[in-house]
Amino acid sequence: MLPRIVVAGNGQLGQMLSQAGAPMQIEVLPVDPNGDVELGLRPDDVITVEIEHWSDSVSGLQLKQHPNFRNAAALYAVIDRQRQKALLDRLQVPTSPWVSLEGDNLQTQLESIGDKVIVKRRRGGYDGRGQWRWQKGDQPETEWAGECIAEAMIPFSHEVSLVGARNAAGEKVFYPLTRNWHENGILRASVANLPVPAEQQRNAEAWLGRVMDDEGYIGVMAMECFVVDGELLVNELAPRVHNSGHWTQEGSAISQFQLHLRALADLPLITPPVEGASVMYNLLGRDWKPEWLQVPGVHVHWYGKEIRPGRKVGHVNICRADVASLIDSLQALQALVDDDDKVVFDWSIAQLQG
C-alpha cells in the first residue's frame, strides 16, 4: 500500500503533485498549513512541502510534529538565507562573497564584499521581493541589521538551475542543467536540454548531491546558479519542486512532480529520460488564449488564480523533438502573445540558436 502524500501548501505546486500522483493511484492531499483546523492526518501519511514558511497554527503544528514529516533538517537549514549560505560554505560549495548584516557598522560590512551588493531578507521574500540593491556611497537601511544578508553582485553571463532527487536509500538522479531568464527577480522563461559543458553538469550534480546527502533529504530539490566565466556559483537552494523544472511535465517521461512522489513513496528512482528540447514560459498576470493550442508542442498549465500584475497564474511548456521544430513553434506562439511578452520568445530563440 502506497502512503498518502500530504502537501503543506495548497497552491499550484500541490495541484501539480496531485496530477502527477493520479496515474499511479498515489493519493496527494494539499492542505493549508496556516489554518486553525484539525487536518485528520493518518499515522502512515508522509508530509512534504510546496512552501517553506508557515505559522505555528493548529494545522501547521500538526504537519511539523507528524512523525513522517520529511526534510525538517533541510527546511531549517534552507529557509534562513544566513543558515543556507553557512551550509554551502561548510560543504565547500562555491557561492558569491556574502556577509550577515549585524550591529551598527553596516557600511563597513557591505563594503567588505564589494562596491555593488544585493541585500536579501534572511527569511521570506521571493520573486524579487525582500531584496534591495546597494552600491558604495549609498546609505544602508538600519532595518537590515539582524534581518538580512548581503551578497556581492556577480557579473554573470547567464543563470542555470539543476533539479535532482534523492530517496531514503541515498540514491540520486538529476535532470540536465536548465538555462533561466529572470526579470526583476521573477522567472520569465526556462530553456531545457541545451548543450552544457560536462564539467558544469558534473559539478552541479556533485554539489546538489552533497547538500541532499548532508541533510538526509528525500524528494526533489533545486539549485540555482550563476555562470561566471564558464564556472558555476550557487545562488540559492529550494527544498521542493521548482518553477524552473516545470518543463519536465512534457519534456521528460518522468516529471519533477512524479520524481518527487517516487522518492517519498519509496518507488524506484531512474534517471529521467529527456529527449528533444523544451521551453517553459511563465504567465505573469495575464490570461492565455485558446488559439495557442493550435501551435505544435504547446501545453498550457493554468493555476486557477485571480489575475494580478506580476502574479504567476500559469505556465506554458513548448516541447518539440528537435531545436529547429521548437524554434518554429516559438515563432508561431510569439505571434499570438501580448506584445510585452514577445521579448520572452526573442530570448528563448537566441538561447536555442547559440
Binding-site entries for ATP: 81, 120, 125-131, 151-154, 159, 182, 235-236
The strand pair at 231-238 and 219-228 is best described as antiparallel
Q: Of 351, 281, 292, which Cα lies nearest the Cα of 323?
A: 351
Do you know the residue count of the chain? 354
The strand pair at 186-192 and 219-228 is best described as unpaired
Cα(178)–Cα(189) distance, integer angstroms: 10
Binding residues: 81, 120, 125-131, 151-154, 159, 182, 235-236
What b/e sequence results for 4-32 when a residue is b if at least 16 CB atoms lie within 10 Å of its CB, and e otherwise?
Answer: bbbbbbbebbbbbbbebbeeeebebbbbb
**One-character DSSP codes across 288-308:** --GGGGGSTTEEEEE--PPP-
Cα(321)–Cα(299) distance, integer angstroms: 14
How far lies 114's CA from each of 9, 153, 298, in Å?
Answer: 38, 8, 44
**The C-alpha cell of 321 is what?**
523533438
Cα(17)–Cα(30) distance, integer angstroms: 9
Reduced to 3 states (helix: H, G, I; strand: E, B; else coil), residue 95 is: strand
